[in-house]
Amino acid sequence: MAALGSSCLVLSLAVCAYGIVAAIYGVRSGRVEFTDSARRTVYALAGILTVAFAVLELAFLRNDFAFNTVADTSSRTTPALYRAAAVWSSQEGSLLLWAWLLSLWSSLALFLMRRRLRDVTGYATAVLLGFGAFFISLMIFYATPFATTSPAPAEGAGLDPLLRFPTMVIHPPMLYSGYTLCTIPFAFAVGALLTRRIDADWISATRRFALAAWLCLGVGILLGARWSYSVLGWGGYWGWDAVENASLMPWLTATAFLHSLMIQEKRGMLKVWNTSLVLATGSLAIMGTFLVRSGILNSIHAFGSATLGVPFVALIGVLVAGSIYLVVSRRDALRSEHRLDSLLSRESAFLANNLVLVGLCFVIFWGTYFPLISEALNGTAASVGPPWFDRYTVPLALILVLLSGIGPLIAWRRATLASARRNFAVPLSAAGIAALALLAAGVPGRPLAIALFACAAFVFASIGQEFVRGVGARRQITREAVPAALLSLVRRNRRRYGGYIVHVGIAVLFVGVAASSSFQHATEVGLSPGSAARVGAYTISYVRPTATVTPAADAAHTGSSMSLGAVLDVSKRGHHVATLRPSQGYYDSGEAAQGSVGHLIGGQPVSHISMSEGVLRDVWSAIAPNISSPALQRIVDAGNRTLPPQDAPIALGYLAREYLQHPPAAQFHFIVSPLVMWIWIGGAIVFGGGLIAVWPPPSVVVRRVSVRARARSAGDPVRA
């Protein structure tokens, strides 16, 4: 099996090399058969890498510990679902996942583009195969997923406990799909620049892939935030971590591109800007992969090593230098066809939106890479923390939310003051009412949070007004009922109204962020059974301890040897609100030096969060039991001295009983956060709007079906 996987990698590298040469030769010589052959090479690459990925997945599912990566990241006690996901928890497996997804998305893009922009597509094919060759080379020369050891170990090290969470099954593939999808517009931008076909055709052809990349990155970011909130034990969903930032930066530039491309499509403007945004997004996607897998910056999300730093830096250098050269050398061809007619226009609003998004990206880039910058300048790696990021990003985010409501209200080219007054009346009134209502309700003095709530109200009213006008206009023509008119309106204008729904979702998400971060109550306190702590308006009482020893037969479901926790009662003004059961799992360290009993609980402890989630507030809890108390430590020491390894789990039973009968004081972390659920609701709205926008309109679907039907009836089948 390992030989098959290794052979697939070598063959796929050879296929990439042939495809690159064929694509470039085909374009430069004008011989279409070579560019078609290169395109089919990408299909072949997808098939070969699918076999390679299946080999590695099968090795994980069969517990084949002869594979080094399986032995390092999985075990017999790891549940099957997490064994399958463990493929991308390793350095080697994640590289294979990246290359495989790249081949699949590239195949889809080139299949859909097989009759359009042939010269541009030829160069794009070469670029995509170049990316594939890079990642395949990493697997062959630096981090092969098919390296084996003989004889095979009887057991593996197991999956990192932090990764044993349902969203981690789909979070990395979603982010990697976003990263790889970013390379498709990048490749076509390079092709357009090389061929000097600097019109809107290549943008229109790749817009849907840019939107799909934006959507996958957004979902991946949100799933990562959920994982952080539910697993990491610090109570937050966003910590301005390096890897979090790495996925956010290309998402921001992709967002800017999706807005400004409409100006190029409608007015022939911003060609340099749009091309630069596409190239920057592709480069940032590669840099995001570099941050995750190079280990060059510390991150709670990074699970790679520093062995891949040099080749990644070389690739990024080539991408950045090449992008700058292409844009500068083609600047005459990229000249705009029109100029901005008025500051009071949708073009101006979109341009302001772009400047804010790029400004956010620059701030995040500077803060993320500041340790490397400072080390290069003065030899000391200094870092900036969340307060620094908040200081500069919060005002920009406030402006961004406001602009998402302003854009739909202004006409293209030039808006009149009369139309602006008419269109802005309702949204401004809604914003003012929201701000006054919050102040009248005695909301604590958080001016930025109140301003954001007012901006969100502005967005809701602005988008609602657009829907009402659209439905009203349609009903005048068709006499449809309101639901039918609304559905038809969205179906026939998916891109426009899907975008409006996304704007609403972003505003909802920011409301959740502003409320949960500005009006949060948190405390860390030591409690014994029978004692209580006050957190905001809630009283949290420690009712009793809990302890669970995991039998060997059930270890596959938890992965832990023992779990110690507590039952908590949450009340408000004397009324029961919720029962929470936080715990902390203790894992086998695999270190025999810790003793026959000590190693069973000497691994990385993991907080099992317990929270009560609601539409208005979350009550979040975590516990850190004191297992170093003298009574508990005596049991561990006695077990280490007297029990052989096969009988060591017996001591865990005594340890659990002692903890239940004489529980030491435990350290608790409590957080009461308002409106956190609206972050996830807002994300779902964004996802729904994005799906609507990315889905082909009915006319396109009908037209494609009709073309195929006519081709079949004429006896001229459509060739792939």
In a domain, 713, yes or no: no
pLDDT in tens, 488-503: 888 888 889 999 999 9
d(CA 206, CA 184): 7
pLDDT band with cut points at 50, 70 and 90 for residue 698: low
Type of residue numbered 325 = Y
Distances (CA, A) of 706 to 111, 698, 700: 18, 12, 10
592 pLDDT more than 80: no
d(CA 102, CA 81): 23
d(CA 242, CA 291): 7
Answer yes or no: do 415 and 534 share one domain: no
For residue 232, what pLDDT is reported?
Answer: 84
Mean pLDDT of 55-83: 91
Task: Give the three-state DSSP class for 252.
Answer: helix
pLDDT band with cut points at 50, 70 and 90 for residue 702: very low
Most confident of the following: 217-221, 417-421, 640-644, 712-716: 217-221
d(CA 627, CA 392): 42
pLDDT in tens, 150-159: 888 888 888 8
Least confident of 152-161, 175-184, 241-250, 453-462: 152-161
Q: Residue 399 — φ and ψ, nearest 5°? A: -65, -40
Domain range holding 686? 411-519+681-706
What percent of the chain clears pLDDT 70, i.e. is strictly above it?
A: 93
Angle at 377 between CA 371 and CA 379, to 5 degrees: 70
486 pLDDT more than 70: yes
Answer yes or no: do 295 and 405 share one domain: yes
Helix 271-294 vs helix 91-112: angle between axes, to the nearest 10 degrees?
Answer: 150
Answer yes or no: do 461 and 526 share one domain: no
Helix ranges (H only) for 196-267 are 201-231, 242-267
Answer yes or no: do 130 and 226 share one domain: no
- Token digits for 4? 């098959």
In a domain, 715, yes or no: no
d(CA 570, CA 577): 5
In a domain, 204, yes or no: yes
Answer yes or no: do 279 and 325 share one domain: yes
Which one of 126, 159, 192 terminates a domain?
159
- Token digits for 467? 């829907």
Task: Give the three-state DSSP class for 613.
Answer: strand
For residue 714, what pLDDT is reported?
Answer: 46
Which residue from 238, 184, 188, 242 is spatially nearest to 213, judged by alpha carbons?
Answer: 184
By the 10 Å C-beta count (0-12 exposed, 13-18 middle, 19+ buried), 369 is classed as middle
Q: Is 314 left (phi over 0), alpha (psi -120 to 50) or beta?
A: alpha
For residue 298, what pLDDT is reported?
Answer: 61
Helix 447-478 vs helix 482-492: angle between axes, to the nearest 10 degrees?
Answer: 100
CB 519 within 8 A of CB 446: yes
Helix 346-378 vs helix 242-267: angle between axes, to the nearest 10 degrees?
Answer: 150
- Token digits for 565? 């926790």
Cis ω for the linkage preceding 151 (within 30 of 0):
yes
Q: Regarding predicted confidence, which is higher, 233 or 146?
A: 146
For residue 269, what pLDDT is reported?
Answer: 83
Non-local CB neighbours of 358 within 8 Å, separated by 6+ positions: 252, 253, 256, 277
CB 529 within 8 A of CB 537: no
Least confident of 216-225, 464-473, 553-562, 648-657: 553-562
6 pLDDT more than 90: yes
How many domains are contained in the chain? 4
Q: Establish how many alpha carbons lie within 13 A of residue 595's alpha carbon, considering only the half-sphere containing its beta carbon.
A: 17
Q: Regarding predicted confidence, which is higher, 605 or 305?
A: 605
Mean pLDDT of 203-223: 93
pLDDT band with cut points at 50, 70 and 90 for residue 701: very low
For residue 291, what pLDDT is reported?
Answer: 84
In a domain, 340, yes or no: no
Q: Regarding predicted confidence, which is higher, 266 or 590?
A: 266
pLDDT in tens, 670-696: 999 999 999 999 999 999 999 998 887
CB 279 within 8 A of CB 321: no
Which residue from 568, 564, 563, 562 is spatially nearest to 525, judged by alpha carbons?
Answer: 568
pLDDT in tens, 434-471: 999 988 887 767 888 999 999 999 999 999 999 999 99
Answer yes or no: do 445 and 581 share one domain: no
Answer yes or no: do 576 and 460 share one domain: no
DSSP string covering 484-527: HHHHHHHHHTHHHHHHHHHHHHHHHHHHHHHHHHHS-EEEEEEE
554 pLDDT more than 50: no
- Token digits for 125? 């094919």
In a domain, 101, yes or no: yes
699 pLDDT more than 60: no
Answer yes or no: do 138 and 278 share one domain: no
Which one of 141, 159, 177 terminates a domain?
159
Mean pLDDT, the chain, as a whole number?
88
Answer yes or no: do 506 and 604 share one domain: no
Answer yes or no: do 406 and 460 share one domain: no
718 pLDDT more than 70: no
In a domain, 564, yes or no: yes
Which residue from 366, 334, 358 is spatially nearest to 255, judged by alpha carbons?
Answer: 358
pLDDT in tens, 577-589: 999 999 998 877 7
272 pLDDT more than 60: yes
What percent of the chain clears pLDDT 90, i.e. is strictly above it?
A: 59
Helix ranges (H only) for 552-599 are 555-558
CA-derived radius of gyration, the chain? 28
Answer yes or no: do 87 and 148 share one domain: yes
Strands, sheet with 617-624, edge to edge from the N-terminal-most edge strand: 521-527, 666-674, 617-624, 610-613
Q: What sign results for the dihedral spanned by CA atoms 110, 113, 117, 118? A: positive
Instruction: Give the β-pairing of 538-549 and 532-535.
Output: antiparallel
**Strand ranges (E), 351-413:** none
Q: Establish how many alpha carbons lie within 13 A of residue 5's alpha carbon, considering only the half-sphere containing its beta carbon.
A: 22
Answer yes or no: do 379 and 450 share one domain: no
What b-and-e string marks burial along 286-316, b requiring 16 or more CB atoms within 10 Å of the CB? bbbbbbbbbbbbebebbbbeeebeebbeebb
For residue 551, what pLDDT is reported?
Answer: 64
Least confident of 359-373, 500-514, 705-719: 705-719
644 pLDDT more than 50: yes
In a domain, 285, yes or no: yes
In a domain, 399, yes or no: yes
